[in-house]
Amino acid sequence: MLVRIVKLKFKRENIASFERIFEETKQNIRNFEGCNFLRLHQDINDPCIFFTYSFWESEEALENYRASDFFKAVWGRTKLLFSDKPEAWSVSTRETVQ
């Protein structure tokens, strides 16, 4: 399993627009073939910073999503709202303690 973490920083005036886009698209993202989990976080000290965590069956599944027309349309709308370049990491889970 691959975990994709993406840090997004928005202009303050664009936060509501991003939240609308996420609300409209989250089920399609989560239900995309190979996506097992999706979570959105917001920084507690800077409300302009968000993180998405998505769990993918494989790197191929993530790349299929990123190559999809759906992703390109959503990303095209979202990137217009940024105040800074997004950052992304693909990681594997080493250990979970509950």
Q: Tell me the pLDDT tens digit for each residue of 20-79.
A: 999 999 999 999 999 999 999 999 999 999 999 999 999 999 999 999 999 999 999 999
> What CATH topology corresponds to 2-91?
Alpha-Beta Plaits (3.30.70)
Two structure tokens written together for 14 = 């664009």
Helices (H), the chain: 15-30, 59-66, 69-78
- Report the predicted TM-score, pTM, of the whole model to 2 decimal places: 0.93
